[in-house]
Amino acid sequence: MFVEVALPAPIVAPEAERPALGRRVLRAAPPYLYLAPALALLVIWTYRPLVQTAQLSFFSWNLLPTQPMVPAGLANYERLIDLPELGQAVLRTLVMIAGLLPFTVVVPVVAALLTRRIQGRARVVYQALVFAPLLVAPVASAAVWQWLLDPGAGAVNRVLGTDLNWLHETGSAQLAVIGITGWHLLGFAVLVVTAGLAGINSDYSDAAQLDGATSGQVSRWITLPLLSPTLVFLTLMTVLLSAQWTFPLIDTLTQGGPADATTNVYYLLWDYSFHSYDAGLGAAAGMLLFIGFGVIAAGLVWLSERLTFHDD
């Protein structure tokens, strides 16, 4: 004889209380609190001056606190475009970028490929020696290079067997600035390329060598394509920062001369603002420089993303 026993009713736990709004805010706040100092500095030192520069470009002002800013509309931009110095400075900037690209892209790739087999302490010593010029202050190195390039007793003329006045002749002044800047940046670029090579999986080259590929073929058809995002990054840095990198050397060695032979767009806008005391014109030049380099940077970033996606 069987007796049916009813199942006990399920025990339903009371619904968990939802945390209060203040508690949820406190739980979500720590990441934003960590980012707050960096965001504050970014706003204060980057975005705020950029907005002020854009506003100043529509005024005429001689930088004197006792003189009011006079609204000028688009006059600063119209006057800037009509100045022949702007086009010449842009051309010199392009020449400077082209001259620095071998130091930041070509030579670092060759050096990193030739020395990638160095191991142990020798590798550390090599990296330290290559990176050392970047640690030298530009003004200090400018003083040393001014002595090395001296037309009378300079070591450069002795080695080359020439008697050039490197810093005071229009044909050689910009070459000297490019060479000194490239010497500064070479170590940084070599380390970036070395890091890019370290991130490439060695299985690709091993598989190619098993198929009979030579070291040159592996470098040409496997290593360089996989390294392309790093090379685009170095190109982007060179295009965007070349005028800024050369500024302390130009200001110390040539002051934009001789005959404006070393005046690039970065030095030109500084000259308009602090030598000519035309803050509105300098601000307009800065905004055109920001927009122009921003467009170039957007194109290079898009290219870098495409290359990275292609590698994946």
**Spatial contact of 238 and 104, defined as CB atoms under 8 Å apart:** yes
Q: Sketch the domain layout of the chain as residue ranges.
A: 92-264
- Whether the CA torsion 238, 239, 243, 244 is positive or negative: it is negative
Look at the block and give the residue holding tokens 């406190």: 26
Cα gap 242→236, rounded to integer Å:
10
Distance CA 290, CA 272 (A): 16
Predicted confidence at residue 311, as pLDDT, reads 45
Please enumerate in sequence order all residues whose Cβ is within 8 A of that of 217, keeping only pairs 6 or more positions apart, or say none. 208
Residues 149 and 5: their CA atoms lie apart, in Å, by 105
Where does 92-264 sit in CATH, by number? 1.10.3720.10
Q: Which residues contact 122 (CB under 8 A, 6 or more apart)?
A: none
Pick the closest to residue 100 from 255, 232, 224, 239 (CA basis).
Answer: 239
DSSP state of 9: P
Residues with Cβ within 8 Å of residue 282, at least 6 apart in sequence: 269, 270, 272, 273, 274, 276
Better-predicted residue by pLDDT, 31 or 311? 31
67-81 pLDDT, tens per residue? 888 888 888 898 888
pLDDT band at residue 3 under the 50/70/90 scheme: low
Contact indicator for 228, 311 with CB cutoff of 8 Å: yes
Contact 209, 218 (CB under 8 A): yes
Per-residue pLDDT at 1 exceeds 70: no
Instruction: Give the lowest-confidence range in 54-58, 80-84, 153-157.
Output: 153-157
Tens digit of pLDDT for each residue in 230-287?
Answer: 888 898 888 888 878 888 888 888 888 888 888 888 888 888 888 888 888 888 888 9
**pLDDT given for residue 118 in this prediction:** 73
Give, as one character, the DSSP assignment of residue 71: E
Q: Tell me: the pLDDT tens digits for 123-174?
A: 777 777 888 888 888 888 888 888 888 887 778 888 888 888 888 888 888 9
Round to whole Å and give the CA distance between 93 and 85: 12
What is the pLDDT at residue 66? Answer: 83
Residue partners of 279: CB distance under 8 A and separation at least 6: 56, 59, 61, 62, 63, 273
